[in-house]
Each structure stands twice: as C-alpha cells, then as structure tokens.
Chain A
C-alpha cells in the first residue's frame, strides 16, 4: 500500500513527545497484541476484512470536507494508517508510529460515527479508531490536556479537580440564586427515595454554575421530587472513555450508577451533555458487561420534552428568533433524540431555523470525542477542521445557536469566534428559563 501524504503543521505536545522517547518496541508489540487478542475479537476483524476501500466514508467526514478534501483526513485513511498497519505488522512498530496513531485517533477523529452511516456495509469506523485510542492509552500515549482530565477523574471522580466541600458549597449557593426567581425552590442534597437523581458534568460547578440555579427553578416549577448527591458520583462525564483508559472509565461509570442506587431513585436525569450520555447509557455498561444501566438514564432533551409536552412546564414568552441548533452526535445520531430536540426548540423559540443537513445527518461540532479536551496545542487544527460547520450556521442566518451539550457548546463558541460568525451560543436551559411561565403563587412576593 502506498504511504499517505500527510501535510500538518508541527504541534508540540509534551506528553506525546516524552512518551515517544520512553517507549520500547517490545512494550508496543506486547500491548498491541494484548488489546487485539483479548479485547477486540470478531468485531474488529469483520470490520477490517469487510471494508472494500471504496472511500465513501470520506464524503461524510467534516475533517475531510473542511480541509479541501485532503485524503489524509478521510476516515478510511485514518484506519489505513493506524489499525491496518498494527494488524499487518503484528504490533512490530516504533514509538513514532504510536505517536502518529494518537494524533490521528485522539486529535483528528471525534468518534461521531457519521462515516458509519454512509458506509455501504455500515462499518463502525469510529470503533476502530477507539481501539487505536485504547492501544495508545495502554502505552501512555495520550495528549497532555486530555490525560490531565483523566487524572482528575481518577483522583476525584470528577473531571475538573472539584473538591467535595467546593461541590456542596456551589450547590447551596446556586440554590440561593434559584430562590431569587422562585423563593420556595430547593436543591435537595442526599434525599433518599427521591424520584430523580440529577447529575451534571464538572464544568457546571466549576465555571457555569448558573446552570445549577436554572435547574433548581425548573424542578420547582415542574413540581418534581429530585435530589443531587453530596458525595463523589455526581459527575456524569467521562474523559477516560475517550482517552482509552477503560479501567478508569468503568470506575467513574460504576460510581455514578451506584450513587443513584444508594439514593434509591427511580431514574437519573442528566444535564445537557452528549458524551456523558454515551458513557452512562451504552459505552460504560457495555464495558462493564451490564445488559443495561441498572437505573434508567434520561438525557436533558428527553426530560425537557416530557415536561413541555405534558404541560408541567408552560411556555409564557417564546424566545425571539431566528435561533438554530446543534445536534450532539452522542444523543442524536447515536441516541435518537433529534425529533424531540426539534419539538422543544419549536416550543420555546418563535422562529426556529433548522440546519442542513440536520438531525442524525448533522455534522459533528468537532469538539466532541475528547477532541476539545486535547487542549490548546491542537486548537488551530480543530477549528480549521470544521469550516463546513461555520458555513452551515452562517446559512441559517440565526443570531443564536442552542447546544444541548457541553462539548458542542465550547467547540462552537470557538468556531463562532474563529470564523467571526457573530452568533451567541446558549444551552437549552438558558432559553427555557427565560421562556417558561412561573406560576403566580411561586413568584417572589413584592415587599
């Protein structure tokens, strides 16, 4: 096979460079074969042997389309340059090769699975790139910023080094903020037997605390019996799933589910995050050998859909349009919530403008799959790698983009900034809190 012509600006990532210097060829061979023999099985071989190298997947990939159809960004090339070689050479490769594998799998693929939809055989190409990440992680070849997040998960069970006292303090603070809108609102901690455990991702308490104030108000207005844990297990995010460190991924997922079981709740409602849903609903349970999550998982989109459709939340003042939306891959393409997302967008927006292509055919934000988490060294490539997303938003003429996912939110802010789109980026709950009706008896009494 001819080698791929790869043109990239050099990027310095200390963790990758140090790992390359340290790795021996014996270590690499051992780990590659261990993963392939013990963790992959028929699935990987079926995919590799079924692929006819037709290249239709290329047209599906935002990296390929945004980089002027540079073949080195096509999904089939990413597979050809990584797992095919590892299989062919039976793991006999050097540190520089593993470093390139990490660059491809961690920084040039979002595992968004759009390519799999356009493959004539339905090959899950993202799965193969995840196997490559797994091999890299077992060799310690993980970009610096991403590995820092994984360390945080391992040490604190949340992704942003949030300490237990800071977590509780933040919740109580945001309970007070919520009470500014609805004085009787509560953010109940550790309420055993509540209907709902609400879980969020690290950035919410760390920097975006207003989202916790929002949910305090929404839960009260909807009249729901809910709680949040005061212990670790509150963070539903999981960057270990994306680095390839599945042992830590499993610890994080198990604690999240066990915390819900300890609180004896009937369901877990998750905030607006896509990859967290992937970890809790399918990737986590699959790795742990569970048939399904022990307690049902409800993503924010489904949750708000139920509240609005049932009339528990009424809309008083729709947001003035035009407003558009981003479909988070892990809950829309891979979770089927696209129609519900459109229902709630139409419910709260006067003029909802859809994107093209949309719903499960939508392009990835290019931040997901841990690609924003690999940090600043790789940012330029990331924003340049999603020019088509900027063009797509521009065509809508919207002034605001709603992103029901933290990765999408941060990634699209970067794209808006880089391509000077002049649009606002908001979470759905930011729009909902402004649009919903607060019943008279719940409003603050005038002095």
Chain B
C-alpha cells in the first residue's frame, strides 16, 4: 500500500487515499486530509463531524447515514457539503479515519 508523509509522520493509505487503519488516525492525519481536500481551515464544525463519525464507527463498524450525521450534528445537508466539498462519504469519512464506504461511491 502507498505511504504519505505529513509533518514528519508517515501514514499508510489505500489507492483512494483513505488511512489503512482507523486506529492510526491522529491530528496530523486531519491536517493532511485538509490539504488533500482543499479545505481552508479545520474549524469546530469540521471537528464536530469528525468526532461524530468516529464515535458512530466505533459503535457500529460502518459510516452513518448522512441523515444521522445531520441529526446529531444539527448541520443541514447543504452545510455538510460546504464543510466537506467531496461529500460525507468521501471527504468527511477520509478525514475521520474511516475506511472508504463500499458500494457505488
């Protein structure tokens, strides 16, 4: 699997740029994905989404429906796309250290 370097740290990723293991996620990873996704700054709203995704994944072993993400964070769908331009399944899951969701995505 390919490796990426950021801030002196090395991460192993898949071909889609998702981290190899949820456990290897760190703050540096967030900053790395920020750059990849063209996000200007990781603010509290991004952090809220990331925390929610990680908590949900820990309990359920899968990324949540965008409905659940919207309900728990209180963000409208449109706003989630503003925060993560490539969408909840790609950008947000990637930043939170989840694996790439399966299916036609």
Please say whether chains A and B are actual partners in one complex: yes
Contact B14 A377 (CB under 8 A): yes
Task: Determine if B67 and A169 form an interchain contact, defined as CB atoms under 8 angstroms apart.
Answer: yes
Q: How far is the CB of A216 from chain B (nearest CB, A)?
A: 14
Q: Do A375 and B70 touch across chains, with their CB atoms under 8 A apart?
A: no
Contacts of B8 in A (CB 8 A): none
Contact (Cβ within 8 A) B102 A375:
yes
Is the Cβ of A206 less than 8 Å from the Cβ of B15? no
Stretch at the interface among A83-91, A158-166, A183-191: A158-166
Contact across chains for B104 and A162 when beta carbons are under 8 A apart: no
In the complex the two chains form, is B102's CB within 8 Å of A373's CB?
yes
How many residues from B make CB contacts under 8 Å with A?
Answer: 23
Whether B100 sits at the interface, judged by CB under 8 Å, is yes
Query: Any chain A CB within 8 A of the CB of B77?
Result: yes
Best-surrounded residue of A202, A206, A207, A413 (most CB of chain B within 10 A): A207
* B100, A406: Cβ atoms closer than 8 Å: no
> Which B62-99 residues have a C-beta within 8 angstroms of A?
62, 65-68, 70, 77-78, 86-89
In the assembled complex, the Cα of A342 lies from the Cα of B10 at a distance in Å of: 48
Q: A376-B16, A379-B16 are in contact. Are A206 and B89 (CB under 8 A)?
A: yes
The segment from A33-41, A128-136, A145-153, A393-401 found at the interface with B is: A145-153
Pick the contact of A379 from B15, B66, B101 — CB < 8 Å? B15
Taking CB atoms and an 8 Å cut-off, the chain A residues in 259-308 that contact chain B are 273
Query: Do B68 and A206 have beta carbons less than 8 Å apart?
Result: no
Q: Flag if A170 contacts B67 (CB, 8 Å).
A: yes
Q: Closest A-chain residue to B70, C-beta based?
A: A173
> How many A residues face the partner with a CB closer than 8 A?
38
Also in contact, A209 and B102, with CB within 8 A (given A170-B65, A379-B15): no
The distance from the CB of A238 to the nearest CB of chain B, in whole angstroms, is 11
Please measure, in the bound complex, the distance between the C-alpha atom of A407 and the C-alpha atom of B66, giving whole angstroms. Answer: 19
Cross-interface CB contact of A177 among B1, B15, B77, B105, cutoff 8 Å = B77
**A375 CA to B18 CA, complexed, in Å:** 11
Of A148, A166, A203, the residue contacting B105 (CB under 8 A) is A203
Cβ contact within 8 Å between B67 and A205: yes
Inter-chain contact A148/B68, CB cutoff 8 Å = no
B102 and A152 contacting across the interface, CB-CB below 8 Å = yes
Assess whether B65 is in contact with A162, with CB atoms less than 8 Å apart.
yes
Chain A residues near B102 (CB-CB < 8 A)? 145, 148-149, 152, 159-160, 373, 375
Whether the pair B103, A160 counts as a contact (CB closer than 8 A) is yes
Q: Which of the residues A161, A201, A377, A407 comes within 8 Å of B62, measured between beta carbons?
A: A161
The answer to whether B104 and A406 have CB atoms under 8 Å apart is yes
- Is the CB of A69 closer than 8 A to any CB of chain B? no
Residues from chain B with a CB closer than 8 A to the CB of A148 are 102
Quick one: which of B15, B66, B105 contacts A380, CB cutoff 8 A? B15
Total cross-chain contacts (CB, 8 A) = 85
Task: Give the Cβ gap from B4 to chain A, nearest Cβ, in Å.
Answer: 14
The one of B14, B88, B104 in contact with A159, judged by C-beta atoms closer than 8 angstroms, is B104
Other-chain residue from A12, A159, A162, A373 in contact with B1 (beta carbon distance below 8 A) = A12
Residues of B within 8 A of A209 (CB): 66-67, 77
Q: From B66, B87, B88, B104, give the contact of A372 (CB < 8 A).
A: B104
Interface-centre pick from B68, B87, B104 (highest chain A CB count, 10 A): B104
**Which residues in A have their C-beta under 8 angstroms from that of B78?**
210
Quick one: closest B residue to A172, CB to CB? B67
Q: Are B77 and A159 in touch, CB under 8 angstroms? A: no
A-chain residues with CB within 8 Å of residue B62 when the two chains form the complex: 161
Asked whether A410 is an interface residue with its Cβ less than 8 Å from the other chain, the reply is yes
Asked, given contacts A177-B77, A210-B77, whether A373 binds B104 with beta carbons under 8 Å apart, the answer is: yes
Query: Is A63 close to B, CB under 8 A?
Result: no
Residue A378 lies at the interface, judged by CB distance under 8 Å to chain B: yes
Q: What's the Cα separation between A302 and B67 when bound, in Å?
A: 29
For residue A296, give the distance in angstroms from its CB to the closest CB of chain B. Answer: 24
A354 to B86, CA, bound (A): 26
Q: Which 4 A-B pairs have the closest CB atoms?
A: A376-B14, A379-B15, A376-B16, A207-B89
**B interface with A by C-beta (< 8 Å):** 1, 14-16, 18, 62, 65-68, 70, 77-78, 86-89, 100-105
Q: Write 29 A-B pairs (CB below 8 A) sorted by A numbering.
A: A149-B103, A160-B101, A160-B102, A160-B103, A162-B65, A166-B67, A166-B68, A169-B65, A169-B67, A177-B77, A201-B104, A203-B89, A203-B104, A205-B65, A205-B67, A206-B105, A207-B89, A207-B105, A208-B66, A209-B66, A210-B77, A237-B104, A273-B104, A373-B103, A376-B18, A376-B100, A377-B14, A379-B14, A380-B15
